[in-house]
């Protein structure tokens, strides 16, 4: 017997950059992606919100947070019909940026000034506005994530975001 999609329960601090997770908070479950900055600190991008914040909030990883990890075998599919001017997307949480420097997802801090941060998805890096390396490219407010099972050769939508 196998479970589909493949998953394992583990501590969030043991997850790696780019892992797709489900996190339980009280009676709610949030979909999240692990983002790691250059010094190794990890945050969760909570895609559909939680008791700790709205959708696309960034939550620092605690030592005892247990999650369901679906791994990094997923793909991001931007909706070509939902592209916006690059500069218009910079202050919006949940915008995907495709630039020469990488692929980023914007989210808001749950602590401090609640600034927008840009989490690199294809490599490590979490950047504030002034350090955001991508200034040109494409920006998408609607997109979806498909989880892929290589063995079964199937994929299915795991999360979708329909922006403004």
For the chain, list the domains and their CATH numbers.
8-69 (2.30.30), 77-144 (no CATH)
Residue 82's CB: how many other CB atoms inside 10 A? 17
Tell me the average pLDDT of the chain: 90
- What pLDDT digit, counting tens, does each position of 104-131 carry? 999 998 877 888 999 999 999 999 998 9
Q: Residue 57: which H helix or E strand, with range?
A: strand 57-60
Q: Are strands 57-60 and 66-69 parallel, antiparallel or unpaired?
A: unpaired
Nearest to 59 by CA among 14, 23, 11, 94: 23
Report pTM: 0.92
Report the distance separating Cα 77 and Cα 117, nearest Å.
21
Query: Region 82-111: what's the mean pLDDT?
Result: 91
For residues 152 and 144, what is the distance between their CA atoms, to the nearest angstrom? 21
DSSP one-letter code for 87: H
Beta pairing class for 57-60 and 102-109: parallel
Per-residue confidence (pLDDT) for residue 163, from 0 to 100: 81
What pLDDT, on the 0 to 100 scale, is given for residue 155? 87
């Amino acid at each position: 017997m196998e479970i589909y999609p493949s998953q394992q329960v583990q501590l969030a601090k043991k997850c790696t950059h780019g892992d797709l997770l489900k996190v339980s908070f009280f009676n709610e479950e949030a979909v999240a992606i692990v983002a790691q900055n250059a010094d190794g600190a990890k945050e969760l991008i909570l895609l559909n919100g939680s008791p700790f914040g709205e959708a696309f909030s960034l939550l620092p990883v605690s030592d005892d947070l247990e999650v369901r990890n679906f791994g990094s075998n997923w793909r991001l599919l931007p909706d070509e019909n939902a592209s916006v001017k690059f500069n218009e997307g910079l202050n919006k949480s949940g915008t995907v940026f495709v630039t020469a420097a990488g692929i980023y997802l914007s989210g808001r801090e749950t602590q401090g000034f609640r600034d927008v941060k840009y989490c690199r998805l294809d490599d490590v890096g979490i950047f504030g506005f002034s350090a955001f390396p991508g200034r040109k490219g494409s920006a998408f407010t609607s997109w979806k994530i498909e989880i892929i099972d290589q063995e079964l050769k199937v994929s299915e939508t795991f999360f979708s975001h329909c922006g403004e």
